[in-house]
């Protein structure tokens, strides 16, 4: 988990230090490889998206230590419960923008959903959804 957070912080620091629609800086791949090796993960992927446009999407390293399968843009990483934090952050942004409320039903904002999934946005924050 600590390594995943370090990679995310690196990616966010990189993104915040570049101008809009800029190409990756010279040596970007080498910096990512150095980070990957320093945090001790066999593989990682980075995507930079600006205004809905993918500027960079690339995999680094291998999927499994000792295995030849390279990480690519379609590699799925097991992230455990970290998705909950991203879900709540996304909901908070939408609440701040006034697009949804914490107690709104999920369906109207998400489109058609299964009739069993009638919970509100606050239920998405816990283990009850």
Helices (H) and strands (E) in the chain, counts: 4, 2
CA distance 4 to 63: 14
Mean pLDDT of 21-25: 74
Q: In the predicted model, what is the mean pLDDT of the chain? A: 78
Element (H, E) at 58: strand 53-61
pLDDT tens per residue, range 49-96: 888 888 889 999 999 999 999 999 999 988 888 888 888 898 899 899
pLDDT tens per residue, range 63-75: 999 999 999 999 9
Please state the pTM of the whole predicted model.
0.57
């Amino acid at each position: 988990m600590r390594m995943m957070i370090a990679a995310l912080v690196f990616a966010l620091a990189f993104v915040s230090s570049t101008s809009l629609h800029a190409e990756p800086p010279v040596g970007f791949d080498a910096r990512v490889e150095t980070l990957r090796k320093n945090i001790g993960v066999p593989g990682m992927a980075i995507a930079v998206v600006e205004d809905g446009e993918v500027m960079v999407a690339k995999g680094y390293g291998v999927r499994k230590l000792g295995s030849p399968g390279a990480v690519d843009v379609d590699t799925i990483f097991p992230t455990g419960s970290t998705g909950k934090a991203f879900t709540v952050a996304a909901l908070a942004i939408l609440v701040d923008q006034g697009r949804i409320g914490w107690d709104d039903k999920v369906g109207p904002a998400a489109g058609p959903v299964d009739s069993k999934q009638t919970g509100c946005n606050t239920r998405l924050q816990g283990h009850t959804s």
